[in-house]
Chain A
Amino acid sequence: MRVILLSLICICIYTNGRAQAFLGLYGAENSVTQVRENPAFAWHEDRMQLNFFGVGAEVGGNSLLFKRNIFNFLTTGTATMDKNYFRNHNDQPDKMFFANLELMGPGVSFRIQKRFFFTASVGTRYLLNSDNLSDKVFNLMGVNPRLDSNILDSFTVHNYSITGQVFQELNLSYAGFFHETEEYKLLGGATVKILNGVGAAGMGIPDASFKIYKNDGVAYAANGTANLAFTPNANKWAISNNPFRAMGVATNNLGVGLDIGAVYYMNPNEGFQVKKGYVTRFAASITDIGSINYTASSTSGSYQVKDTVIVYRNIMNNNDVTYGNRIFNDYIIDSVARPTASKRKMKVGLPTALHLNADFKIQPRFFVNGNVLVNLRAPSAEKYSNHYISTVTITPRYLLTRVITVALPFSFNAQKQGFLGAVIYAGPIYVGSGSLFQLATSNSINNLSLYLGANLRIKAKKQKEKDMMMM
């Protein structure tokens, strides 16, 4: 058994993943999972590569701080405000929050005639974004809201959006050569993504205003419009529930997405024999182009609130009652909100992003990787979409042995937050975190990131010595 295990480790690869849930996972070798970052990475020198599984989760933003006991959530299933997490009181006027959870695999990557490279993989993704909530309004929400002054205070909301979706994807990738010599290779690739929308929920508030007096749980003189859309039975999984409970009430809305990319490998010859691999690699890609059209629940649409008093004191998340029933009975019949438009379909955009990546071989065992992730989706109250956070990552990587590599990704994002993580590749297994050092050294963490996975690399047969002599 040990021999088999050791053999497996020896033939396995250092693997890569994708942003955002796999931030910092930028290894040297191509793999079926790396294709999700850039389809041109489908090229490899192996006979076949297999991805068994990969799971990555990242929660962040500038609105919440987490205590280390937040991980009790994994066993208890609940996280409580002011106990496991609390408000992040900072000077940023707009609060945002995101959560990404991605399950990858299985997948397979193979080549035909050493020129045509194909990858097929499946995955499930949960994406949640909340953007543009003013600091003042944020402090009114949740348990133990920050006490306001005794005077009548005014609040405004502008371009606020919150969108969550769960979907499954089948990725079919192809990569081929644009230019190929022994020293330089330029490849292009594309991935067609067949998407199965499991569930989605979103709200956008273009403009709204209200007044609060002594924090009595009542919004006075409320005015504004809210766009609201969700798939049937979203109450079972959205807001405070396990998002993968959406599988139990799957809506099965099909969509199509696209990734495109190119990679340039530089491997200048310095000796008689051509070395495998590369000295420098540049890659660029645009991923997650497209959207999913979900069939919306019958109460989805636009609602207007006009000079209304809203008692929000007792609004609680009730997992049992459907959103449709609550909206109908608590807001429409109670004359709180007036429908102004209907919505039969809910189009939710994928987190389209530009990826620029460069990998430098500094020493035979030492690499430095630079990655720029640029978000191409602007959050909007008028459109439902998810997005990543623009992030720059520098990752030094050292090959300790033939099968063990360590990497230390340093990331800096558009929210002016810096994180130091760590990744270890041990044969077929990788485990990492984009913010491990925050997790280890602080009990007020603004980013939770963790990922792990397993891949298998089936190498090409070695060329026999006799064949080499004949060449």
Chain B
Amino acid sequence: MNMKRIAVFLLFGLLVVAGACKKEKTPSADLQMSATINSYPWRSYASSVTIDKGPGLHLTILADSTNSRIKLRIDNYRGVGTYVISDSGNTASYSSFGSVAGNHSYDASSGKIIISSNVQSSNSQTSIKGSFEFLTSSVSVTNGLFDVKLNLD
């Protein structure tokens, strides 16, 4: 193997590592929710935002990972602000789905959801960003972040 081949090999390897490192450090554009569940990192692969009304506007954010789900619900949504869980109907929950262990749902007993940004991002879409944390009887959810899109036609 001459030097030229070694150089090409190294360059190729460098590009692969660089690409992998970049992917590791920077969340992909479609990351919708992340959190730490009992000290383990958790990421969603899909999310949805829905609204329901009357009286007040209820906003529900659902985010799914491979075998678990986080659900945040704000009972009287007013945009940017802090919404305390268990206060005025705001709720949060963590659910796990397992073929062996079965399905379990853990409702938050305390915590908060902070909406940091509510911006019309396109003609039919509103971008909602924020953070959250909550405690259940046996699950601790911390460092929660979300960046989701609400489609309104």
Contact = CB atoms under 8 A, between A and B. Distances in A.
Interface of A: 232-233, 297-299, 301-302, 320-322, 324-325, 327-329, 332-333, 335, 338-342
Contacts, number: 63
B104 to A, nearest CB: 31
A320 B78 CA distance: 24
A299 B51 contact: yes
A232 B123 contact: no
Interface string B39-78: 0000000000011111111000000000000000000011
Interface residues of B, number: 20
Contact of A325 (B53, B54, B56, B124): B124
Contacts of A302: 54
Interface string B98-139: 000000000000000000001010011110000000000000
Given A302-B54, A333-B118, A339-B55, A232 B153 contact: yes
Given A321-B124, A325-B124, A329-B118, 4 more contacts: A301-B53, A324-B124, A325-B120, A339-B54
A328 B54 contact: no
B152 A298 contact: yes
A335 B78 contact: yes
Contact of B52 (A297, A324, A342): A342
A322 B123 contact: yes
A299 B153 CA distance: 8
A302 B124 CA distance: 21
B79 interface: yes
A301 B54 CA distance: 8
B31 interface: no
Contacts of B123: 320-322, 325
B79 A333 contact: yes
10 contacts: A233-B153, A297-B153, A298-B152, A299-B152, A321-B124, A322-B152, A324-B152, A325-B120, A335-B78, A338-B56
Contacts of A327: 152
A461 to B, nearest CB: 57
A109 B25 CA distance: 72
B150 interface: yes
B56 A321 contact: no
Given A338-B55, A339-B53, A339-B56, A325 B78 contact: no
Main secondary structure of the interface of A (DSSP, over half): mixed
Contacts of A329: 118, 120, 126
A341 B53 contact: yes
A335 B118 CA distance: 14
A333 B78 contact: yes
What 8 pairs across the A-B complex have the smallest Cβ distances?
A324-B152, A339-B53, A232-B153, A341-B54, A333-B79, A342-B53, A322-B124, A325-B152
A297 B51 CA distance: 11
A417 B3 CA distance: 96
A102 B40 CA distance: 63
Contacts of B54: 301-302, 339-342
A299 B51 CA distance: 8
Contacts of B52: 342
Nearest to B124: A322
A298 B50 contact: yes
Contacts of B53: 299, 301, 339-342
A322 B153 contact: yes
Contacts of B152: 297-299, 322, 324-325, 327-328
A50 to B, nearest CB: 40
A21 B106 CA distance: 61
Contacts of B153: 232-233, 297-298, 322, 324
B126 A328 contact: yes
B67 to A, nearest CB: 29
B116 to A, nearest CB: 14
